[in-house]
Amino acid sequence: MLNHIGTNNIETKRLLLRKFKVEDAEEMFENWAKDPENVIFLQWNAHKDTDETRSIIKMWNEEYKNSKTYNWCITVKDTKEIIGSITVVKLFEDIECAEIGYVISKKHWNKGIMTEALGGVIKYLFLKIKVNRIQLKHDLDNPASGKVMIKNGLKREGILREAYRNNKGELRDMAIYSILKSEFKEEF
């Protein structure tokens, strides 16, 4: 059985992962939510305005009352800048498995940030929530996301054909990756 404790702070070398606050709306909108290119491989559309972002964060704040909610705002420790999110998008309680999704602001791509954030979340889920399996998927045209997974010790399991609908309404193939508790090493 999983040991649900909800979204608590996770600290890594450069980052603090924490709950979203309503006051984060402007920065989230400016840094990634408003930009269609930034959300191209996601299932949601770029936000129209900060009100849309604010109402989504309000909804997440309600969801935080449920201890099975894991949804972190990625912030830079030094500058306090809000640069992205990393979330358990699906829980498979019967097989003790969590599926993760993530996004960061374009201006911070390719600095190893998501690799670091995912490392922190994997550690939290294995050691604190006691999951047995963590899985992630990415659109085949988004190899950078696969790199983040490989760098955290996940193994590519194969291709799921036409397994998600992107935000343009197209059915797309996805690669699926996983890591098991028995494979987890803190140094990844």
Ligand X SMILES: CC(C)(COP(=O)(O)OP(=O)(O)OC[C@H]1O[C@@H](n2cnc3c(N)ncnc32)[C@H](O)[C@@H]1OP(=O)(O)O)[C@@H](O)C(=O)NCCC(=O)NCCS
Q: Which residues contact ligand X by CB under 6 A?
A: 38, 41-42, 102-104, 109-115, 138, 142-145, 147-148
The distance of closest approach from Cβ of residue 8 to ligand X in the complex, given in angstroms and rounded to an integer, is 22
Nearer to ligand X (CB atom), residue 128 or residue 172: 172
The distance of closest approach from Cβ of residue 114 to ligand X in the complex, given in angstroms and rounded to an integer, is 3
Nearer to ligand X (CB atom), residue 82 or residue 104: 104
The distance of closest approach from Cβ of residue 46 to ligand X in the complex, given in angstroms and rounded to an integer, is 11
Nearer to ligand X (CB atom), residue 64 or residue 164: 164
* 67-70 long-range Cβ contacts below 8 angstroms, 24+ apart: 67/4, 67/5, 67/6, 68/4, 68/6, 69/6, 69/7, 70/6, 70/7, 70/98, 70/121, 70/125, 70/129
187 CB-near residues (< 8 Å, 6+ apart): none
